[in-house]
Structures are given as structure tokens and as C-alpha cells.
Chains A and B, each alone.
Chain A
């Protein structure tokens, strides 16, 4: 399937084979224009909900210019011509679906002038196991170049994850603790009959080994470095230096590997139940941890503020949150930005939303579109991004379905840092199911 690649920031189509925009260097992304119910994308038509262009005209009737274009009576701006309509941008609405079981949708939302969310995803194979790789980023709206920061962050982290887990010999990335023994030497994987064997076997840069958690951490830090490297001159802007959140997931053959910084989230939805896999780096979470009540905290001016992000806005290097859990089948993994979860604040509601909004045989893309539409219908105050990997039973890790999600993902397993703790052994693992 050929895809049209476009630049998410300037809208220029990419030349075949290009990965970066030749005009501004932004990583190109696949784009399939699709209209969302209730919003018109026709070019040159003023968008009714857009309010970034000022209306014109005197409201007091005096209509007398003070010499600078404002009425001497009511002070409102006077204009002879109508203001230009806002041109739709290519990243106002973007969808990607490598197949029926993996998809993502990002949308500008109703209120914001620009979509500063981004995602990168792909379906990899390790042996005959489907390994979705998904990264979602949300640019800080009070920071400069947010759309580019989110796009660069998502693409950089995604590519680094694919590089670590698929392109490189899988043996160079150690899954510790499947049998409780940490491996010291590289092992050739017979079942990696796909991509791995066709390439030479690069080692990690220091010639050593890394755990899966370390590889995720490195990928997120690479995204951070890429955002820090953006060409950023403040000029007269009163916005801060670039910053973005990130949430990344890889469904490896034996485990879900998640990493995040900020308040973009991942959920596990299975058998009508759902729970959050991530815990926000946010003022609100800190307040709740201090014992403040949610009912009070929500009224604080800091209620929606994040405490960590990628990029120079962080003023230092962020420490990515990492979590791993045994891979289970059935249901889905769902990654999203706060533009979605603000319309589904209770994690347990997410499953109900998924069930309620889509047909049982819906594709991943159908699910994503439905959840994005739910956020827009609720007001769409922010950019909204939803990515879904459906974990179909027969093709996955060969494990039994574990019915109760809560039981299979151990509490308190979330880690901050290098993840030097091994993943707990999962009951159903057999020796031939490894990275």
C-alpha cells in the first residue's frame, strides 16, 4: 500500500523516498485526509468555530477612527476589509492504520488554532509475533514550536525503538528474568526468521547489552535530545522554550514495554474493564499523593499543569517513567493525549466508551475515530490523539488469555529510571517465547 507522505508543519508533500521535509526538515508523516463529522475542511472557507481572527467593527455606533484603526468611543477595531480566513493545516486531522488491528488518529480539536499533538506508529514483526510500536506526543501549548516538537519527538522515539528491538539483532537487547536468569552472552534467535537475520548484527554503541527498559529509556531520551536540538530563537515571543509530553509502547512478544514523560497516557482495555498503565507527571497527581482531595485540587490554577516534559522547557534531562508487564492477549492497548482523557477522566470508563461507541467487529481505526469524535462532541477544548493496538488472541504471544487485567499487571510495578529490576516471571512463559 503506497502512502502519501506530507510535512505536518508546512503541508508540503514529500518526494518519494524522502523521510524529511525538504523545506523545513520536519519528519514526514503519512496522511490520509478524512472529514470528521461536524467540521468542514474545505479550503478558503472560514471555520465557524475558529476565533483567532478578530471580528471587526464598532459596537457603539460612533464608528470614528482614532487614527490607528480603533473607534474613539468603544475602542473596537475598525476595518475596511474582512480578515483573511484561516487556512486549514494538513495536520488538523491525520489518521494512520497499518492494518485493521493497529491505528491512530490525531485531531486539532475545536478550540485550538493548531494541532500540537503528534504520533508515530508501525507494525513490526519479531518472528511471527505482531509487535506494534506506538509513540504519542503532545506539545506544550505555552511553548514555542510545539507542533514540530511533538512531531520530532514522536518520530525520533519511534525510530529508536524500532532500531533497538527490530533492526538490531534482538540478542543485543536482553529480556531479563523470563526464566529468572540474566543472560550474559548474545544468543542467536532461530525464530527471528524475519527482519533480524537479513541484517548484520549491530551491537549497542558501547558494545554491551541493554535491558528492554534501558532501551525504552534511551529512545525517550533520544526524543528529548531531538527536541532540544530544534532551532529555537525566542525573538519577541513570550512563549517558553520547546516542550512536549511523550508516551511510548512496544508490545514485545513476552511483555508490554511502556515509557512516558508528562501527562499523555496508556490504558489496557480488556474484557470490558480498563485501567491506566501510566501515572501522570502532573501537579494534580502530586497533589493527590500529598493527600489533597480531587474535588478541591481540580479548582487550582495548576490543575492541568505538568511537572515534567521533554525538551529545553524541562531545564535539564527528564527521567522517563518506565513500566513493563507480561504480555497478555485479547482487548487492546490504548495510548492518548490529555485532549482525549479529559473527556474520560476515570480510567474504568475508557472500556465502557470503547464498547459503547463502536461495533463489536470494529477495526482499530474505527475505534480511534469514535473516541476522537467523542472528545470533539464533548467540546474539543484541546488537540486530541488516540492510538489503539488490538491484541487479537490467536496471533499473539501464544499465551492463554488472562481474564482479569488487574490480576495480570502487578500493582506498584511502575518504575522511574533505568529499570534495573527484572520483570516478574509470568506463569505461562515457555522458553521459546523471548525477545
Chain B
């Protein structure tokens, strides 16, 4: 069983054109991966904010959620729990999730109290020290906070994240609405994870449960997208575009002038992620045909006697460039590229629109969020449309006519901001209809 890569592009370029765009839809092997997941050594680390603001319902809900999450683990998984305020403590040292260890952990968690301020880098640093003991395992952190990182300089987190990146992955949650989306997203982005909002403490248990299920399903680690290109090719960008938008361009590892590699973390069996690759190639002459990119997937998979390193290079996974004088061929836009470019624009206008709203520029916010409604409607992204409707009243979706709501809950606005990078998958199969402006005679 191997990774598969489906490619989507319009391979025809006008003479002198040097831009190649393609979508790589990468799917992890599904069959037989249940066993690999079970065999994979997994370390789950919970990093929990126990600052003074967590006191009361929040800390009680968090403690229950941590305990339930640990109880879901198999006996061959390892877990630990770190709490942090102004400094960090290891309240449950790393241990295999045996019944005995789970019981001991429950007691240790029960004794936790909330007090003092918030310095997130301390929690991350301590977790890193724990994860570092397991170089060969799948390492997944679950991070919870409720407030701003006010007890330390902002740079501390940025510096700490540079050490953590590539070592473990982390999904982050903010409970309530007093925390800063940007701070939490910085952690998630650096550690290949997602940032989400839990408006009400009762939701913490479900969020942690889902995170543990996801960690248990991981069967491959250190999955790298490796891309060969011809001499002289520049990468304009490499972005994940499904299930969320995530930038990979700057985290490139250049193995050689022609081979570049991007670390994407651990994948579950059967998981699919789509990537948009944009290249600048040496232009050819009309009639010339060139192999513009050859992607492959390099990863470690758990086998019966330990981890096995593997490279999957599907023979049909290739991006081409064919130069032509026929501009009906070169002017066509591949529908997958168009769809994800639209989803990317959608994410950007949501962010920009929310920023304008924060700044009090209602006219600007209305215009941008109207455009977002139009894009979400046109691409069938129903989840994003539903979230937008909590911030604007939609007069006419196809034309993007909206009115800002006067009363918008902070949670709804933060949720929209966090989920703006969640995309809808491009439809497979041929597209194009009379409504497609690409229909020229």
C-alpha cells in the first residue's frame, strides 16, 4: 500500500510563459493502516493553561477533559500532562497508558489548581523536553489556553516554536473569548496543527476526545512532500489547500538544487490533503514539452519490527509544461486550480474583512465580507457561508450584497476567523458549462 498523488493542471503555456500551477491531491494508504496505527509508537502530551482566569468552571471542565482523554488511550501509547501559568510543571510524567498509570494520573490531575499569569512558552518548552525523549515516536500535543500570553515577551513563544518545529505536532484550543486568535494560531501554524475556539467550557471534553482519536489514527510520521524540478526552476509557493490552508513555502528543505522537500507531519490512514504548487520554469519554445515537477512522498511507517522509511513515487504523478501558440489551449484555467485559488482568496478576504471591522471601518468590512459571501456561495462552501451569516446579514449571495450585523458575538467572529482557512474540496471530474466564462469559440 502506497501514498497516491493525483495531479490537476492545465499543462499548456503560451509562448514565453514561465508559470506552472498544479494541484497535487495526496492520499495516505488506507488498507492495512489500522494495524500500522496500532503498532505505531505514539506519545500524546497535554499542555494545559492553569492561570488564574481558568479558576472555576473552566479548570474543572479542563481537568475532566484531560482525564477522559487519557482514558481513551491504548496501553502501548505514552502520555504526559504539563500545566503552565507563569512557569510550567509536569504533573503527570511520561508513562505508558496502562490502567495503573491512568488511575495515578487521575489523582494528580484532580489536585491541580488555577492561579497566577500566563507564559505559554514555558508550557511548550517543558513539553518539548518530554517529547525529546521519544525521537522515534509519533508525537502529538494538545494545547489549551483561555487568555492572552501576558506574562512574558511575545518573542519568547516565537523563539521556542523554532525549537519545537519538526519535533512534535500540536492542535490548539482557546476556551471562552478572552484569548488572542493570532497568538494561538502562531503555535498551531508552526506545529502543523489547527487552532479552534471552544466557546463554552463544557465543550472541552469533546474537543480533546476528537484530538485523541486523531492521534490514535496516525500511522505514518515525518511525511514529507518531495518535489523534483528541472534545473533553473523556482518555487513560487507550495501551499496546502485542503482540508485547511497552510503555507509550506518557507519551511522548505533543499536536498539539492533540483529537489525540495516539505515536512507535513503525521498522517492517518486514508487521509487526503491537497496542495497547490506554483513554479516558475525556464520558458520553452512553442512545441516543446517539459516535465515541470515530479512529486513523491517520503515517510516512516510502523511495521511489525519497527519504523520503515519509504518513498512512494507514483508513475503518473507529474506536472508538465507544453508550450503552444493555440491560445484557446493556454488560456484555459484548470478547474481545481481555479477552485483552490478561489478558496484562498476567500480566506484572505475573510481575514481582511474582520480586521476592518475591528478597526471600525464598516464600509470596508461590508465590502470584503460581501465578497467572501459571494466566493463561499459560488464554491459551495456551506460551512463558511454558515459562519459568515453569524457576522453579516446576506441580502443576495451571488452578488455579494450583505449588511454587517450590529450584534455579533465575539465567539462567532473568532470562530469565523479561525475557520476561514478551512476549505471545501474541489469536485472531481470534468467541469465547464455555458456559465463558465472560459467557453469561447
Chain A residues within CB distance 8 Å of chain B: 49, 51-55, 59-60, 66, 68, 70-71, 73-77, 111-113, 116, 138-143, 234, 237-241, 243-245, 262-264, 283, 301-302, 304-309, 313-315, 337-338, 381-382
Task: Say how far B252's CB is from chain A's closest CB, in angstroms.
Answer: 19
Q: How far is the CA of A70 from the CA of B327 in the complex (A)?
A: 25
Q: How many A-B residue pairs have CB under 8 A?
A: 131
Cβ-based interface call for B322 (8 A): yes
Closest to B285 in A: A55
Q: How far is the CA of A245 from the CA of B288 in the complex (A)?
A: 33
CB atoms of B230 and A74 under 8 A apart: yes
Q: Which residues of B contact A143 (CB under 8 A)?
A: 432, 439
Cβ-based interface call for B359 (8 A): no
CB atoms of B325 and A306 under 8 A apart: no
Cβ-based interface call for B436 (8 A): yes
Closest to B229 in A: A75
CB atoms of A55 and B324 under 8 A apart: no
**Interchain CB contact (< 8 A) of B289 among A68, A77, A113, A243:** A77
CB atoms of A68 and B315 under 8 A apart: yes
Closest to A54 in B: B289
CB atoms of A314 and B230 under 8 A apart: no
CB atoms of A142 and B432 under 8 A apart: yes
Closest to B231 in A: A73
Cβ-based interface call for B280 (8 A): no
Q: Which residues of A contact B438 (CB under 8 A)?
A: 142, 305
CB atoms of B433 and A263 under 8 A apart: no
Listed by A's residue number, 15 A-B pairs whose Cβ atoms lie within 8 Å are A54-B288, A55-B288, A68-B318, A75-B231, A75-B290, A77-B291, A141-B328, A141-B441, A142-B432, A234-B430, A240-B439, A244-B441, A301-B331, A338-B441, A382-B441
Cβ-based interface call for B435 (8 A): yes
- Secondary structure of the B contact surface, majority rule: loop
CB atoms of A315 and B287 under 8 A apart: no
Most buried by B among A59, A116, A245, A381: A59
**Interchain CB contact (< 8 A) of A237 among B290, B323, B325, B430:** B430
CB atoms of B326 and A112 under 8 A apart: yes
Q: How far is the CA of A140 from the CA of B332 in the complex (A)?
A: 13
Cβ-based interface call for B155 (8 A): no
A112-B328 CB under 8 A given contacts A53-B287, A55-B285, A237-B430: yes
Q: How far is the CA of A68 from the CA of B228 in the complex (A)?
A: 14
Q: Which residues of B contact A263 (CB under 8 A)?
A: 441
Q: Which residues of A contact B153 (CB under 8 A)?
A: none
Cβ-based interface call for B440 (8 A): yes
Most buried by A among B229, B331, B433, B434: B434
Cβ-based interface call for B243 (8 A): no
CB atoms of B434 and A54 under 8 A apart: no
Task: Say how far A385's CB is from chain B's closest CB, in angstroms.
Answer: 11
Cβ-based interface call for B119 (8 A): no
CB atoms of A315 and B433 under 8 A apart: yes
A60-B291 CB under 8 A given contacts A140-B439, A304-B440: no
**Other A-B pairs beyond A139-B441, A309-B434, 12, CB < 8 Å:** A51-B287, A51-B325, A66-B291, A68-B291, A74-B231, A77-B290, A138-B441, A141-B328, A142-B328, A234-B430, A240-B436, A306-B439
Q: How far is the CA of A381 from the CA of B331 in the complex (A)?
A: 13
**Interchain CB contact (< 8 A) of B326 among A51, A77, A243:** A51
Q: Which residues of B contact A308 (CB under 8 A)?
A: 434
A76-B290 CB under 8 A given contacts A111-B326, A111-B327, A314-B434: yes
Cβ-based interface call for B284 (8 A): yes
Q: How far is the CA of A283 from the CA of B429 in the complex (A)?
A: 26
Q: Which residues of A contact B292 (CB under 8 A)?
A: 75
Task: Say how far B241's CB is from chain A's closest CB, in angstroms.
Answer: 19
**Interchain CB contact (< 8 A) of B230 among A54, A75, A138, A307:** A75
For B360-379 the 0/1 string (1 means CB < 8 A from A) is 00000000000000000000
CB atoms of A52 and B326 under 8 A apart: yes
Task: Say how far A199's CB is from chain B's closest CB, in angstroms.
Answer: 37
